[in-house]
Structure 1
Amino acid sequence: MSASYARVLRIPHARRTFATALLGRLSYGVVPLSVMLAVNRASGSYAVAGAVMALFGATVVFLAPARAALIDRYGPRRALVPLMTAYTALLGALTVAVWRPGAPPVLLGALTGLAGACVPPLGPTMRAVWTRLAQDDQALLQRAYSLDGVAEELLFVSGPLLVGVLVGAAAPTAGIVVGAALMVAGTTGFVRSPAVRAVPGAASASASVRRDGGGRRVLRRIAGPVGAAAAVGLALGVLDLLVVVFAERHHHGGESVAWVLAALSAGSAVGGMLNGAVNWTVPARIRLALLTACLGLALTGAGLAPGLGTLALVMAVVGFFVSPAVTTAYLIADVAVAPEARTRAGAWVNTAVNAGSTGGTALAGALAGQLPVAVCFAATGGTVAVTAVLVMTKGARGRGALRGEVAVG
């Protein structure tokens, strides 16, 4: 291998920058669950808690490209610090509002919605910084993105576990306070890194906006990876509910569902690390289409599993393609746009995964009660496979398409 994970972490300033970004991103796994528990406790209503969290999730997901545009326009230091300040201030106000029962639901919704709109986009910004640190070494960048993706997935597993520990010893508001503190510590350390301070701001971004024609043209350039990311998100959203339905119909309890979803995460982590360790000669766009197609085929057969143990093995296979597909989507999006639009491009891929997951959960809820679970799995797998065909035929466009065709490695 011409580049290893150890070499990624030996890049000057990489360890410090990556560690502080991960510290701040751990807040993503802590805050949502803490807010939901605190709002439910303060309002005494699951409906209010669900509505508030839906609003929070919507502003986090759908305003992510707008927040990323601020990073591209003003640079990480000038954009992240105000976002962090507003985010933590709103979380502080929410903590005060839910301290005692009886807070007006409208107030809780407004505070959480505004907080979601201000979440600092540390993930897309870190991926843009990785591109600068790798200095056009595509093999090294592939390792960096794979390492980043697996680490982020582990954060979303460990975050709720941390909340469980906190809630066992204190009120749910403690999780909100800890999440805010993690964001402050991580973002502050991140923007002070020499690698982040070197990222240009307004002058280069203005030229990029003129050249790319704004957000719509950026999105057109990365339509292929965004579509594939949405398909992966759709699959993940559907799986969360279909695994529960499968377990119930096979007379298993909720603890069994956790093991099946853990197998999915484990397969994704293994696949992500192996994907980053290989020097691929297959062009990135073709690789993305193949990974997405394999994911769809594995999903199609999941409903035929005779029991929960077999389903767990199938979920591990499904997960094996998840992290590589998302990582490859990020790589293609990164090279398909001007350097000053990379944060936006990464944010669009991230938004596609989250939006697809939300839509998948809603779709699974509508279909699971009407169709056999095997048919639901097959329909999801077929949708993902069709997306793979579209990625193969469309790909990226223009200058980005030519660069995206270059094999990584």
Structure 2
Amino acid sequence: MPSPLAAPSYAAVLRTRHACRTFGAALVGRLSYGTVSLSLVLATSEATDSYAVAGTVMALFGLTSVLLSPTRAGLIDRYGPRRALPPMAGGYALLLAGLALATAWPGASGVLLGVLAVTAGACTPPLGPVMRTLWSDLLPEPALLRRAYSLDGVAEELLLVTGPLLVGLLVHVASPSLGLAVSAALVLTGTLALVSSPAVRAAGRPAVRPAGRAAGSAAEPSADRVPLWHAPGLRQAVAVAAGVGMCLAALELLVIVVVDEHHTPGAVAWVMAALSAGSAVGGLVYGAVPWRVPARLRLSACAAGLGLVVAAAGLSAHPHALVGWAALGGLFVAPALTTAYLIADECAGPDTRTRAGAWVNTAFNAGASGAAAATGLLVGRLPLPACFALAAAPALLSAATALRAPRRPGLIVRTVR
């Protein structure tokens, strides 16, 4: 562990004992999430010769994965990552391999692919929430933990950009089904490497309570007595995550509409790259600043900043201008999600931390899915500036909810693990 007197930095985070090994293993497994979506769509459309079937299979996979994420995270909290992760990753990898095999030749059954996609989505291992829980174990110091969460968020952003590029290379040399096989290999390799880390073995030990403080004592109520969803601040973190997800999904679709109107389809990649680059820069800067402002106010400011930028982007909806607006808006994305995850971790007891982070992740993905469908219905019916304003509304409304100090139903006791 780094010395408590050492200056907090990203280097100090990575120098922490077992941090590089654990983080590297998690990133290998999480790269699978950057490759699987595009691989599944391409492989299914090629095997069935139907984009409708491909879209349905992808929707089934995504919905099952997102909606069951808190349940899988609850299994991690209950049984520990060493016992719960390998069966999930093994089943997930096996089902992805089945999808790769089923899509390797034309004429695949859409029903079979749908069943395989649903069961694969149900088994998706929650490597992101698990890694964030491990960061909390490795780095109890708040300043270092904030840097670790920022680094984690930036790395995840880069994986989501790198994954489709890797799939593009694979498609050039082989069929899209190879991307599914590679996704299976990545998640299995990364998960097995993760659970073999000493940090994961340490995380599975029973919680150690301070001397003289028994669990559930009258002086200090146990966190286990407070339902997770009633924990102070968690609902605000979840609301902001959902608002950010809705805002970004709507923005992505509106960018496609704008570049299509200006007949510059190649600009989509530039706008989305600017968004990712802005998010990476914002995340790194956010983690390096020694904030004195409470996390709740930082969460509200980040969500409001993103919403205001997206609303302003509608006033100059040109592909070249959108590159700048996307880069500016991206500065708020990683900080908003990092703060939401930090608040969720602070709200949770020792036996619900993985599930708390999974709720934030689920809210972001569910919000993104719902907003994409809603925005598709609005485009063409409203002027583009109005569409951009509506896309910004979820982030702005969630920022308002985060301003209100939550009522505390009881003390949350953070035991030393």
Give TM class, smaller chain.
Answer: over 0.9
Instruction: Work out whether residues 82 and 204 of structure 2, in 8 Å CA contact, stay in contact via their aligned partners in 1.
Output: no
CA distance in 1, matches of 2:187, 2:205: 22
Aligned residue for 1:92, secondary structure, equals helix
The answer for the alignment partner of 2:184 in structure 1 is 180
**Pair 1:102-2:113 in alignment:** no
Alpha-carbon distance between aligned partners in 1 of 2:85 and 2:413, rounded to the nearest angstrom: 32
Q: Which amino acid aligns with 2:239?
A: G
8 A Cα contact 1:21 1:186, kept in partner: yes
Query: Any idea what SS the aligned residue of 2:351 has?
Result: helix
Letter aligned with residue 191 of structure 2:
T
How far the C-alpha of 1:340 sits from its partner, in A, is: 1.8
- Which of these residues, 259, 267, 291, is aligned with residue 247 of structure 1? 259
Q: What does residue 407 of structure 1 align with?
A: none
Whole-angstrom distance in 2 between the partners of 1:372 and 1:222: 36
CA contact (8 A) 1:69 1:343 kept: yes
Contact 2:138 2:199 in 1 (8 A): yes
Measured in 1, the distance between the counterparts of 2:405 and 2:372 equals: 27
Counterpart position of 2:234: 222
C-alpha distance after superposition, 1:323-368 (max 9, x if no partner): 1000000000100110221100100000111111111111210111
Partner of 1:320: 331
Task: Give the drift of 1:294.
Answer: 1.2
- Given residue 182 of structure 1, which amino acid in structure 2 is its aligned partner? L
Q: Secondary structure at the match of 1:185?
A: helix
2:44 is the counterpart of 1:33: no
Farther off after superposition, 7-16 or 172-181: 172-181
Matched, 1:271 2:282: yes
Give the equivalent residue in structure 1 for 2:211: none
d(CA) in 2 for partners of 1:8, 1:247: 41
Whole-Å Cα distance in 1 between the matches of residues 335 and 410 of structure 2?
24
Indicate which of 157, 164, 167 corresponds to 2:168: 164
Structure 1 consecutive aligned stretches of length 4 or more whose deviation exceeds 3 Å: 201-204, 206-210, 215-218, 394-403
Letter paired with 1:98: T
Q: In structure 1, the residue corresponding to 2:352 is in which secondary structure?
A: helix
TM-score normalised over the length of structure 2: 0.91
Correspondence for 2:79: 74
Say whether residues 1:51 and 2:63 are aligned partners.
no
Paired AA for residue 170 in structure 1: A
Q: Contact 1:223–1:395 (CA<8 Å) still a contact in 2?
A: no
Equivalent position of 1:406 in the other structure: none
Note the C-alpha offset of 1:394.
Answer: 4.8
Q: Which residue of 2 aligns with 1:211?
A: 225
Residue 123 (1) aligns with residue 128 (2) = yes
Cα 1:89–1:57 change in 2 (3 A) is: same
Q: 1:147 maps to what in 2?
A: 151
Which structure 2 residues correspond to residues 305-344 of structure 1 after superposition, within 5 A? 305=316, 307-344=318-355
Deviation, 1:98, is 1.7
Cα distance, 1:97–1:20 mapped onto 2, change above 3 Å: same
Cα distance change of structure 1 residues 306 and 227 upon mapping to structure 2, 3 Å threshold: closer
Report the residue type matching 2:175 in the other structure: A
Matches within 5 A, 1:187-206: 187-200=191-204
Cα distance per residue 1:199-224 (max 9 Å; x no partner): 137899x99895244x6446x75100
Per the normalisation by structure 1, the TM-score is 0.93
Matched, 1:234 2:246: yes
Q: Which structure has the highest helix share of the two? A: 1
Read off the aligned partner of 1:233 and give its amino acid letter: G
Distance across 2 between alignment mates of 1:202 and 1:49: 45
1:89-139 Cα distance to aligned partner (Å, 9 max, x none): 11122222222222221111000110011011100000000000002x100
Offset, 1:37: 1.1
Asked whether the 8 Å contact 2:223–2:411 carries over to 1, the reply is no
Deviation at 1:85, TM superposition (A): 1.0
Relative to structure 1, the CA distance from residue 47 to residue 359 in structure 2 (aligned partners, 3 Å threshold; closer, same or farther) is: same
Task: Give the Cα–Cα distance (whole angstroms) in 2 for the partners of residues 81 and 209 of structure 1.
Answer: 28
RMSD: 2.1
The alignment partner of 1:15 has SS state of: helix
* C-alpha contact (below 8 Å) 1:8/1:144 kept by paired residues: yes
Provide closer, same or farther for how the CA distance between residues 141 and 269 of structure 1 changes in structure 2, counting only shifts above 3 A. same
- Runs of 5+ unmatched residues, structure 1: 404-409
Larger CA deviation: 101-110 vs 4-13: 101-110
Is the contact between residue 221 and residue 400 of structure 1 (CA under 8 Å) also seen in structure 2?
Answer: no
Measured at CA, do residues 21 and 325 of structure 1 come closer, stay the same or move farther in structure 2, by a change above 3 Å? same
Q: Determine if contact 2:150/2:286 at 8 Å carries over to the other structure.
A: yes
Matched residue type, 2:88? L
The residue matched to 1:198 in structure 2 has which SS?
A: helix
CA contact (8 A) 1:223 1:396 kept: no
Give how far 1:248 is off.
2.3
In the aligned structure 2, how far is the partner of 1:307 from the partner of 1:123?
A: 35
The corresponding residue for 1:384 is: 395
2:65–2:124 contact (8 Å) kept in structure 1: yes
